Amino acid sequence: MHARGAARAAQRGHHRGLPQLDVDSVRRGSTRHLTGATCYEALAALGYHYGPAFQGIEEVWIGPGEALARIRPPAPIGDDAARHHVHPVLLDSCFQTLLTPQLLGSEGSGAASGTGVRLPLSIGEVDLDTVGDQPLWAHAVLIRDADGELVGDIAVHADDGRPLGRVTGFRAADVETASTAVGLGTIDSWLADITWTEAPYATAPLGTSVRDWLVLADGQGVADELAARVTARGGRCHLVRPGAAYRMAPDRRESVIRPGSSADLERLLTELRADGSAPYDHVVYLWSLDLPPMDATSTAADVRERADLAGYSLVVLARALPDHQPGSRLHIVTRGGQAVVPGDPAEPLSAPAWGIGRVLGQQELPDHRGTLIDLDPATGEDTLPVPRTPRPCYGK
């Protein structure tokens, strides 16, 4: 995906000059009224399949060349909309309103106006006040609908009709016939795939030293076994566990920090070297192993909170390494996050760790390049191989 745009500041309240919404007038001009459920069933029949988290239209009134939709944050996104200027789901629901006039062409015939699914190509301008989690009215007006392409404007209003702003020049076109400057073959060549090559299990003897390890420990036992093996061979290992408050164990072999807290991490890394100790040779990120299967999550807020273990917390660690652990190598471990053979399922919550890890290893932190390791969820073995000097294995 490629996007390009420009942002500019605007004076707060400048939308007050826009006209109020006359809901009754627009309703009277409509020829079809649909509930949200019926609307999404009809859109699905045309090829627009929106999941529950993207079904923000509560009701819609459709007339020739225009539509009025009542929009509310869908239940699956929880209270997430309140933390956004305009939540992406609500903005997308406004865009959906502009598609609903196609339903007039399909009414009673099963065929849509136009030749196929229209996908967004460009937007002239988005100028919206803070929306948050309030219910909305989206009044969409078609400017052009011909040759598989539609262009329209969307006025966004608060529940009482007060103007909140507008989206102008929204353009969508038939996915099968839209002209583009870049061919699909070219786009496919931009995408990198991970390929796996089977390698024999390494049985070479260990070196004389297993060195020092800083391990962001999971709760499944992998970190504990790794620490036991490292210390048994004369190495130094410190386990960092996620928790609600900062704590350093009296023996300084374990600590607790809040996931995603840069303050806690800075404090920990400073304390670990306060006595003049050398940086750790290896930093191992195992927090991703505590992520549950995607099927065990029920709400968007639940997914967001858990996904931080494979996302933001890893970014915070990466930012701190150059200053506090120079020369260390960062190793990232997940379980079931990669499909090794065709048909293998992959856990989406672990995917961010691999995406971040590849960027870090190839571009952002090449001096800390380590390994990306994905454990097999089907083996039931919560163990890592015997510690030895890891080899870089980013990319293919």
Who has greater pLDDT, 158 or 387? 158
Tell me which residue of 348, 287, 276 sits closest to 312, measured CA to CA.
287
Q: Which tokens is 288 given?
A: 């991703």
Contact indicator for 62, 103 with CB cutoff of 8 Å: yes
Which whole number is the average pLDDT over 244-263? 95
Q: Quick one: what percent of the chain has pLDDT higher than 70?
A: 84
Length of the chain in terms of residues written: 396
Residues 260-299 as b/e (b if ≥16 CB within 10 A, e otherwise) read: bbbebbbebbeebeeeeeebbbbbbbbbbbbbeebeebee
Tell me which residue of 141, 134, 182 sits closest to 161, measured CA to CA.
134
Within 10 angstroms of residue 385's Cβ, the number of other Cβ atoms is: 11
Which whole number is the average pLDDT over 358-366? 83
pLDDT value at 349 more than 60: yes
pLDDT band of residue 365 (cuts 50, 70, 90) is confident
> Beta strands 118-122 and 212-216: pairing type?
unpaired
Strand partners, 152: 142, 170
Q: What is the pLDDT of residue 109?
A: 43
- Tens of pLDDT, residue by residue over 164-216, are 999 999 999 887 665 554 555 555 566 667 777 877 776 665 555 568 999 99
The mean-pLDDT minimum among 217-221, 253-257, 340-344 falls in: 340-344
Q: What is the pLDDT of residue 114?
A: 45
- Tens of pLDDT, residue by residue over 324-336, are 999 999 999 999 8
Can you tell me the distance from the alpha carbon of 257 to that of 325, in angstroms, rounded to the nearest whole number?
Answer: 17
- Residues in contact with 247: Cβ distance below 8 Å, sequence separation at least 6, in sequence order: 255, 256
pLDDT value at 362 more than 60: yes
Can you tell me the distance from the alpha carbon of 22 to that of 32, in angstroms, rounded to the nearest whole number?
Answer: 18
Which element (helix H / strand E) includes 251? Answer: none
Q: Which tokens is 166 given?
A: 């507008």
Q: What is the pLDDT of residue 300?
A: 73
pLDDT value at 8 more than 60: yes
Q: Which tokens is 58 given?
A: 């509560």
3-state SS of 87-154? CHHHHHHHHHHHHCCHHHHHCCCCCCCCCCCEEEEECCEEEECCCCCCCEEEEEEEEEEECCEEEEEE
pLDDT averaged over the chain?
85
Which whole number is the average pLDDT over 34-49? 94
pLDDT band of residue 388 (cuts 50, 70, 90) is very low
pLDDT value at 392 more than 70: no
Can you tell me the distance from the alpha carbon of 140 to that of 210, in angstroms, rounded to the nearest whole number?
Answer: 65
